[in-house]
Amino acid sequence: MYKFLSKADNYPKSLVYLMHSVIHSDGVVHDKEMNLIDKIYNHESVPDDVNSSFLSDMKRLNADEMYKKGLEALKSCLREEQCRTLAWIHTVIEVDDKVDVKEARFLLYAMNSTDIKLEEIIEIAKDLPKLSE
């Protein structure tokens, strides 16, 4: 279980909005991706109200607006939380043993908005619990 460092719900919000945006970017959502995301939400203790807010926003916002909302939350996170969010996304897009170009592009754009390098994300991803097993 991860203890949120920032007072606001920006960390769980960045996880929920960006993960769903990234896995939907290629038009195909794999069962392995969804199963892993559920485990991540449980492990990271994503509050029910964040998930409820996300589901409500899905009905009224388009994909670009959802992604932007995730980026806004990510930018408001502490650096450690930004790295953790991006490392989880990296883990999810690799779960089906192939990385789609669109998913990678979404991750790279999010990285560029935070000025975090891929090498740092890969190192952090190595230390995350192996929830896909």
Domain definitions of the chain by residue range? 10-127
pTM: 0.88
Structure tokens at 10: 């920006």
Pair 106, 17: CB distance under 8 Å? no
Q: Domain spanning 10-127 has what CATH number?
A: 1.10.3680.10
Q: Which residue has the tokens 């994909």?
A: 63
Block means of pLDDT (10 residues each) for the chain, length 133 residues? 63 93 85 91 90 90 91 93 94 84 89 91 91 72
